[in-house]
Amino acid sequence: MNDREDQQKFLDFARRKLEAGTSDLDADTREKLLQMRHRALESSLEGESSFPEWATLPIIAFITAVIFVILVYVKPNPEPQINNNPEDLEILLSNDPIEFYENLELLQKWKDENIASEKESH
């Protein structure tokens, strides 16, 4: 029981001293306490990260290389692909009006439908 009472007295004494503040401490003790506090804060900040410091540079280099490869080799396709058939070129180069080719296309569809219906009837 004696050890327990001694511990309790010591804790009460320490609590009173800590609550009183650092104003009544001498400069040497205050400086040592500030240094211990600073080391404790630094060690708590260092302990938060489990990521090794040496790994940051290779990871940054890898990410930079990936971004570079994406920018160089993966290019967006801003324009739709245009089918450049020779027929289209002939239409553009001819002097005939566009309506002629629209009617021609309509007649071609009508002809294809008639051929398909004749095959079905036979």
pLDDT by residue (tens digit) across 55-114?
Answer: 888 999 999 999 999 888 887 766 666 666 666 677 777 777 777 777 777 888 888 888
Q: Is residue 99 within 8 Å of residue 109, measured between CB atoms?
A: no
Q: Is 101 exposed, middle or buried (0-12, 13-18, 19+ CB in 10 A)?
A: middle
pTM of the model: 0.28
Give first-to-last CA distance, the chain, whole Å.
Answer: 116
For 63, half-sphere exposure in the C-beta direction (CA atoms, 13 angstrom radius) is 6
pLDDT category at 120 given cuts 50, 70, 90 is confident
How is the chain split into domains, by residue range? Answer: 1-49, 86-121
